[in-house]
Each structure stands twice: as C-alpha cells, then as structure tokens.
Amino acid sequence: MSDVVAVDTRARERFPLGVWGIAMLIATEAALFAMMVGSYFYLRFKNAQWPPAGTPEPKVVVPLVLLGVLMLTAFPMWKAASSATPRRWLLLALVVQSGYFAMEVSDFRDDLRHFTPQQHAYGSIYYTLLGADHGHVAVGLLLDAWLLWKLLFGMTEFRRKAVRAIALYWYAVIVLTIVVTLTVTSPAFAR
Amino acid sequence: MTSVAERVDRLERQWAERPGVLGWLTTTDHKRVGLLYFWTTLVFFGAGGVEALVMRSQLIQPNNHLVGPETFDQLFTVHGMTMIFWFIIPMTTGAFGNYLVPLMIGARDMAFPRMNALSFWIFLASGMFLYIGLFSGFGPDAGWFNYVPLADRLHDPSRNIEFYTLGLAFNSIASTLTAANLIVTILKLRAPGMSFNRMPLFCFAFLAASFGLIFALPSLSVDLIFLFLQRNLGFHFFDVAHGGSSFLWQHLFWFFGHPEVYILIVPAFGIATEIIPAFTRRKMIAFPLVAIAELLVVFIGFGVWAHHMFATGLPTTTLVFFAGATSMVVIPSTIQVFAWCMSIYAGRPKFKTPLLFIIGFIVMFVAGGLTGIMFLAIPFDQQTTDTYFVVAHFHYIIFGAAVFPIFGGMYYWFPKVTGKLYFERPGQISFWIIFAGTNLLFFPMHIVGLLGMPRRVYTYPGDMGWTSYNVIESIGGYITAVGILALFTNLVVSYFRGAPAGPDPWHGPTLEWSVPSPPPEYNFAVIPTVSSAYANWDADDRERDGHRLTAGVGTLERGHEQHVSSLIDGWTSEIVDMPHSSPWPIALALALSLLFAMLVITHYLFAAIFAVVIALTLLGWHGKEPQES
Amino acid sequence: MLAGSAAGLGVIVAILVGAWFKRGVDGADRPGTITVIALGIVTPILVLAALFAYSDIFLIRGTSPPVAAAATNDLSVRVIGHQFWWEIRYPGSGVVTANEIHIPVRTHVVVSVHSDDVIHSFWVPQLNRKIDVFPDQVNRVELYADKPGRYRGQCAEFCGLQHAHMGFYVFAQPRAAYDRWLRMQARPAKRFNALFDDKCSSCHAIQGTPAHAHVGPDLTHVGSRTSLAALTIPNTAAHMADWLRNTQQVKPGSQMPEVDLTNAQVRQLTRYLESLK
C-alpha cells in the first residue's frame, strides 16, 4: 500500500530539531538585544552630552580589532559543523574565542576604573549591554567545552547535530557582538 | 504477521508512564503536561477572582473600610498580573496548546517533550514565588504596569517590587519555552500531507501567539532587568537626574504590552475557529483570510504600542502615527469577526453550550473592540484613559475574547479529555449566568468612567454620582462568580456521572476526534495522512489509515518514535526518537527556583552557585542521547 | 461614536440572531466571503479613515498641548505634582497656593505641569483632556472655561497609596473677582503663631513669617480654601482639628506624619490656620 504523500529526504539533512530549538533561542535573544540596543540609542538621544562630562569616550581600535578576531572564528566553527573530524576545528575555535573573552574581560575591568554604572545612565547601559554580550560569549565557551568533552567518546548522530546547533549559536553571537560593539563605540564615530 | 492488537499492545507498553505520583513528576507526555497546566491555572484563576471580589466589595460603597490602600494596591496589582500571566497565557498556550496541538497535527508529542515539562514546573514555581511574596506582605503594589519612578527604590523601598520583577522574569521563561515548543512542533511535526495551508485554524492562531511571545517578552525582560539593576545595584536607566528617562520604562513595557494583549486573545480565536465548524457543520468561510488575519493581527500589533501613552505629552506627530497604526490593526479583527458570524449564519448551527460561549464571545469582543476603536480618536483617549472606561474596554476584551472561548473550549473538549459527556442543560444555564453577570459587572464601568471615575482608586467620594454604578458592578461580580462556580460544578459532576462520550460525539473536524477518548499515551496507533484542514471529515483518508494500521505502515512502533516533516509541504523527512519520562525537568526547575529565591533576597553569591547547579543539571539532561534511526 | 458603535454591534447581533432563525439550512460559501470582505475589510477601512481624519487631524488641534505662554496667552500657571497634593504657583505675582486654581473666565490659561516625585496626571474633565505630570519634563495643557463655576480635577495616574485622594478645584471667576483673589493671595499673613513655627514650619510656609519650607503645601491663605488634603475633607474647623489630630487615619499614607499635639494645641492651631484667609 503506497502512501499518497511524498518524502523529502533533503529536509532531514538541512535542519534537525535541535537546530530549530537553538534558532528559537536565537530569535528571542535577538529580540532582547534589539530592545537593549534600542534603549541605548533612546538614552543617548535624551542626553545632550554622551558620554557625560568626565567620562572618557569609548575606545575604538581595540574593540574593533577584537571583534575582527571573533568574526574569524566563524570559519573553524563552520568547518567543525561540516567536517567528519570536528574536534580540531572546535579546539581552534575555543582557543581563539577564549583569548577574545579574556581580552574583553580585561578591557571591561579597565573601563570600570574610569567610570562605573552607578554614575550615570551612560555607564549603566554601556556595562549592561557589554556584560550581556560577554555573558553570551561565556556560555558559548562552555558549550564548546561540553562538545569537546562529548566528542572524546566518539562521534554519533546526536553529537553531529549538536555541533551544527552550537555553530549556529556562535554565528548568532558573532552577529550580536558586531551590533553591540558598533553600538557602544558609536559615540566616537558620530561627532 | 503481527495483528493490529499486537501493534497497539507494543505501543502501549513503550509509551506507558511510570505509575503514581512519580509518573506525574517525571512526565513528558504533552497531555499530562497540558492537564497539569489546566488545574494549576484554575487555582490561579480562583486567586485572581477572589482578589477581584474583594476589590468589588471594597468599592460597593463610597469611603468604605473593608481594606485599606496598602492592601487594595496589592490586590489590583496582583489581580492583573495573575489573570494575565498565571491564568490566560498558561491556560491557552500551556493547557489547550500543549494538549491539543500535537493531536490536531497528527503527532505523538511536542517537539521538545522534556522542555515542555520544564516549562510547566517553572510556571508553577513562578506562581508560588509571586504568592509567597503576596502572603508575606510583600505583594507588588505599583500596578501591573509598574511605572517608574513610583516603582523605584526611593518611592517603593520594600521587597514588593523585587517580587514583581523577579516573579515576572521567572514566569516569562516558562512562556518563552512553551512558545518555542509550539512553534517548532507546528512547523515540523505535522502529519504527512498536512501542508501549511491544510493546518487547522487553531494551529495558525497558536503559531501567531507563540511568535508574539518570542518577540514581545524580551522587551518586558529588558525592562525588568533594568529595574532590578537600578533598584539593587545602583544603576540608572529611568531616573532623569542621572541621564535616565521615565518614558523608557513605558516604551519598553508597552512594546511588550500591546502584542501581549493579542497574545491573550488570538489563541482564544483559535478555539473559536474550531468550535464554529464543529457546531455549524460546515467549513469556515474565507479560511485563507482568517488564517492570514490571525497571523497579521499579532504582526501589526507590534507597531501600535504608544497608543497606551497618548496622555504622556509625547509630540503630537508621534501620537498621530500610532493612532494610524492602531487603525490598521483593527482590520484583521473585523475580518475574523465577520467570517465567524457568516459561518454561523451559513451553517446549520447547533446551539449547544460551546457554541453559546462562542456567540457570547463574539458579542463581547465586538463591544470591547468598538470601545477600542474609540480610543484611536486621540482627544477622546486623552479624556478616558486611566478611567473606568478603559477598565470596561479591556475587561470586555479579556473576559469576552479570552475567557469565554476558554470556557467554551472546556465544554467542547471535555468529552475528549475525560471520555464523558457533560450535562447540557446546566452547561447552558452556566453560560447565561456568566453572560449576565459579566455584562452587569463591566458595562456600567463605561458610564462611570465617562462620569470621571479614575481607575486604581481604593475608594471614592459619595457625592460624585458614581455610587449606584459601583453597586451594580459589584453585584454583577458576585453573579459572575456564581456562574463560574456553576460551570465548574457541572464539569466535576459530569466527570463522575456523565455518559460515555466515545471518540467523536460532535463529529468534530480535526484529528483529535479520530482517536479514543481519552487518547492513549501514543495518541495515534498509525500516523495519519492528511489532505485537508478538516482531516476528521475526510472519511476516505481515515479509512486508508485503518488499512495502513493493519499493514503496519506508519505505525512507528520500534521505540518512542515521532514523524518529522518539511516546513511548507508536510512531506516526511525523518523519524526521530522522543524522550519519555525524565526527572531532569523538575530538577532544573527546582534549581532555577532557588536561584530566583536568592535573587529576591539579594544573596548574589548563592544565586551564582545555583546558576552553576543549573549548568550541571543541563549536563545531566543531555547526558543520555537519543537512539539513532 | 456611540451611535456608530451601536450600529456596528447591531449588525453583528442581527447576523447572529438571523443564524438562530434560519438554523437547519445550509448556505453557500460565496455570499459569506463577499460579506466578509465588504463588512470586514471595506467598511471598516472607510469608517476608520473617517474617524481618524476627524479626530486626529481636525479635532486634535484643539487639544494639543500649547507652546509656552506667548504674548497671546493671557495667563500661565505652574503646577507641581506631589504625593498626594498639588502645588500651584502664579509666575509674576509670586502667589503660591495648593489644591485650588483660580482662573478668569473666557481666558486661555496655559498650565505647565511638572512632578516633584512620581508620575501623576492633571485632569479637569469638564475643561480639557488629561496631561501626565512627569519629573522628566514640563508638560502643558490649556484650560479655557467659558462659564464661571467650580470645576473638579483629580490625579489620573496611579501615584501611590493616596492616589484616590489627590483632587483639586479650578474656580473660573469673572475677571474682577479673579484679580481680587490674586491680590489677596499675594499678601503676606498678618499674624505669627509660635506653636505653628515650632511644630509645622519644617514643612509648611506662611508668607510674612519665618516659615518658608515648601515640603508640604503653602498655608499662607489656607483658611480661604474650600477643602483640605487635596479634596479629602471639607475645610471646616472640625475637619481641620481632625486632620491635625488623626492625620494618618484621615489619609493613611499621606506624606504628613502624625504630629504629637495636645487637644489645646490642636484647638490653637485650628483657630490660627482658619484665620489665615
């Protein structure tokens, strides 16, 4: 008895359910950051001086260079998701991403020496936005580490799908970091 | 050759739940999760109702002393929060959505069964969190929209607002998980042949509401995070003295708040669009228009938020833009209203209790919608906003357009869930009592609002001419309560004494009526094939299913198997192995509850420790991998 | 609008009642779809466009906030919202009062509102729309009374425990009477009271005495006001005494604390305050 209905085997390879789940997470987090970035610009246009007097202008060169480094890790993540031996690519990605994260944490603490979130709305939205972004990077590092540990025990269908899902997560974090970095450095551009 | 009986037996053994309480605590079955949501939301509905009755009793007389302003302020705040976040949304998406969507699309469970259970336990914990706050005297008291500066540390120094921010943030995790689950389920788990245009309208509605939740809740979350940081860590987002803005709270709140009201009513539209075909015995008129309208109303609803801020002093150009956008959002609703009405007119209606509730819903929704349209006249809005006129408007919409279909849906699906028929006569009586009570309760509010009575007042002067209306409203409230009690008494008695229902007492249009009542754990012994949006009325397809069951084609009985299909056309793409019965959801919910408890008492170190516990729980959750296909 | 709404609701009810009467007869799809498009899309577009054009292009000109008082405006009044009372100031004459605004009839008055604490809303229903009162910025609303009389206003944005008791009066008077009132309000008080100075001057001002604090309402002419505590109680000697003795019972949550006074002190203060006309 043949089924009336066709079969689409390509769809199976395209997006497993786990990837859909991560996509839903990305959608909701993207909305979250959109509202935070919107709040940044709302506060900016409510204040004649931004940053306020006494607060240094945001650095531009170092954040953009670091952003470039993070963007480059999209390549090893993509290779991990499409290769039969993802471990080396994941390890490379994790090392570079960790380096990025360490530099960002150091910059964050350096900023805190010059101005704090408790001083003015500028500081509050600056540190909240950056902190949320760094938080998502940190979660990504943990996901990479988990994957590497799982892959020590060999490859399975589930782990292959997990690599694809986490690669998608990283693409989203990279896009997010582009938006956030451009937002917090924007006062230095628009004069 | 295996017989049908042997196949069914194999399925029953594989999908059987653990017995007893442990089975309920570790369940991942969408039907059990739906029932857990159902009973829990009813408890919160009762709480919200009691809060309303106490308020109406305080307001029955001017200068009354039943409760003082502190209590009253907590009552109206918690009433609003409870009804929206702990009744309507979890009842529609969590109870009706979880129970019915997989059945309607021919699936065996939701796309993420453990996440489904998790969302319930988080929802339950968040409600306990809020009510622990209320009962310990720290109930939120700045209104359900919690404007700053009233809600900032200077003007509301106690822990009340922490129960607001953290309680809602906690709850919104549950709603987001449910929404994500519904979206992926509806998009990917439909039965073979159920292309996007052959989905039941119920699924279009739940898809729209879920997308609404995914994109609107984050705006509220950002507001809550900002307020928590400002109140507890000295940040500045909303205080103008340090470069912040009181308007920022309102913009972020209403950007969430307006889509939220569509999220409240669109699932109820979905319920209505299933009851109407079943009780008029014909297909919905203008099906494609209705389907698109359900999606469009949520989408356009994202662009109208500042119509809640017409009196704030925003520039006139801004106000006019938002009034224009608001007029656009009316159209998808009017399309649906006329489609429903013409379907009832063109069909052969059986005026049984579910259809009565839908007709009551249409009348009240239209009344509430008409007052809504009045608000797009900005000068009119600027007179009536913040008065009882707007309280009347939104209660006609929420009670009429969300609660009435929920009641109708309870009657409609009662036979499916319990296997019994409810008693029809008492059902109709309960409808009329509730309809009379709610109109008596909410209609006079229009008048007293136009006479100048502001909202959120714990008492009012006796010489304003408002008293008699308040008396009528309070009496209406008591009558409504009686009607609701009658409704639930009927359902409870019917559960114990009702006649057996069989699988399809209504000759319903959708697939849930093709399985036994109540459905077996595995829902469908054979995955159905579908060629229209009214699958249960396609007798040929259902007969073919019977042949396939005998032949063992599409019975998916080798494990906990589920069929996954392509997004648009519903072609089979793979068979996946589903999780079944797990302790991780309730464990994770417990860890999350402890994290929020630590935050409300601002013990950040312990909160961080529980965050680590959550991470470890997630490790355990993903420890066992699904079987390869 | 009410007529239109009744008509709209009527159409719906008519269809549903019609369904009851013709039940048992199956209808075709086409007429239904056409009705849905005609009544559900076309008609609403026309009605909404008309409503929008009339209200939000034409009518709104009369209710839009005025710009700051220019030469064409006869009068400007400053209102500062507090939890739970209204501070009223008349720029130019230096008059400061509370919970009562006097304006001349048939005069365009620009009221500028600002909040000292949380968001309030300034609303005199019979005279104009409400305008929210923010700490962030000054908002404005125009008041124009074409007939003399007493118009009741109230706070219309939930502002805390005593939001329900934050009312005020607007008295529209003939020009001469208004001028007399303003001159009278501008005069300092004639008498000083040591007890008041001791117990009350940390929050309340009386022009002509050393009491100059503006934490609470200015009391220079409190005896001439129609009500007390922002329309919570009428202004009579008995109510004044009750207010002084049992502040937190009369208005629980009011920012005025219970002041420790003996009965004799209450009587003395009542007499003094009522004399400040």
pLDDT digit string, tens, across residues B551-604? 888 888 788 889 899 888 888 888 888 988 999 999 999 999 999 999 999 999
HSE-CB for A68 with a 13 A CA cutoff: 5
Residue with tokens 């991780």: B584
Please tell me the predicted confidence (pLDDT) of residue A1: 33
d(C-alpha C77, C-alpha C139), whole Å: 12
- Whether C8 sits inside 8 A of B458 (CB atoms) is no
C41 near B335, Cβ under 8 Å? yes
- Whether B564 sits inside 8 A of A17 (CB atoms) is yes
Percentage of chain C surpassing pLDDT 70?
96
B577 near B560, Cβ under 8 Å? yes
Please tell me the predicted confidence (pLDDT) of residue C8: 84
What does the DSSP assignment read for B383-447? Answer: HHTTBHHHHHHHHIIIIIIIIHHHHHHHHHHHHHHHSBPPPHHHHHHHHHHHHHHHHHHHHHHHH
pLDDT tens string A15-69: 889 999 999 999 999 999 999 999 999 999 999 999 999 999 999 999 999 999 9
Question: For residue B278, how many other CB atoms are within 10 A of its CB?
Answer: 21
Range from A12-21, B208-217, B273-282, B326-335 carrying the lowest mean pLDDT = A12-21
Whether B439 contacts chain C with CB within 8 A: no
Which residue type does C105 have?
Answer: V
Nearest to C233 by CA among B266, B387, B462: B462
Q: Quick one: pLDDT band at residue A12, thresholds 50, 70, 90?
A: low
pLDDT tens string B252-304: 999 999 999 999 999 999 999 999 999 999 999 999 999 999 999 999 999 99
Which residue type does B335 have?
Answer: I
d(C-alpha C257, C-alpha B253), whole Å: 34
The chain A residue lying nearest B115, using CA atoms, is: A21
Rounded average pLDDT over A80-88: 91
Which residue type does A89 have?
Answer: W
Query: Is residue B321 exposed (0-12), middle (13-18) or buried (19+ Cβ within 10 Å)?
Result: middle
Which helix (H) or strand (E) is C242 found in, with range? helix C237-245
B546 near B565, Cβ under 8 Å? no
Please tell me the predicted confidence (pLDDT) of residue C72: 52
| pLDDT for C14 beyond 70 | yes
Name residue C121's beta-bridge partners. Answer: C132
| pLDDT for A143 beyond 50 | yes
Nearest to C154 by CA among C141, C168, C143: C168
B272 near B405, Cβ under 8 Å? yes
Which is it for strands C95-98 and B561-565: parallel, antiparallel or unpaired? unpaired
Nearest to B446 by CA among A73, C9, C275: C9
Rounded average pLDDT over C245-264: 94
Please tell me the predicted confidence (pLDDT) of residue A187: 94
d(C-alpha A69, C-alpha A63), whole Å: 10
d(C-alpha B384, C-alpha B164), whole Å: 27
Chain A residue numbers with beta carbons less than 8 Å from the beta carbon of B529 are 3-5
Chain B residue numbers with beta carbons less than 8 Å from the beta carbon of C18 are 345
- Whether B286 sits inside 8 A of C163 (CB atoms) is no
Query: Is residue A48 exposed (0-12), middle (13-18) or buried (19+ Cβ within 10 Å)?
Result: exposed
pLDDT tens string B352-371: 999 999 999 999 999 999 99
Q: Quick one: pLDDT band at residue B205, thresholds 50, 70, 90?
A: very high
- Whether C26 sits inside 8 A of B70 (CB atoms) is no
Minimal CA separation from C199 to chain B, in Å: 25
Please tell me the predicted confidence (pLDDT) of residue A13: 57
Mutate to test the interface with A, among B195, B250, B572, B576 (most CBs of A within 10 A): B572
| pLDDT for B231 beyond 60 | yes
Please tell me the predicted confidence (pLDDT) of residue A4: 45
| pLDDT for C22 beyond 90 | no
Range from A126-130, B47-51, C43-47 carrying the lowest mean pLDDT = C43-47
Please tell me the predicted confidence (pLDDT) of residue B569: 87
Q: Quick one: pLDDT band at residue B2, thresholds 50, 70, 90?
A: confident
Minimal CA separation from B337 to chain C, in Å: 7
Token pair belonging to B155: 């003007």
Percentage of chain C surpassing pLDDT 90?
75
| pLDDT for C2 beyond 90 | no
Please tell me the predicted confidence (pLDDT) of residue A2: 38
Query: Is residue B531 exposed (0-12), middle (13-18) or buried (19+ Cβ within 10 Å)?
Result: middle
Chain B residue numbers with beta carbons less than 8 Å from the beta carbon of C68 are none
- Whether B235 sits inside 8 A of A118 (CB atoms) is yes
- Report the complex ipTM: 0.95
| pLDDT for A3 beyond 50 | no
Which three-class secondary structure state does DSSP give residue A90? helix
Q: What integer best gives the mean pLDDT of chain A?
A: 92
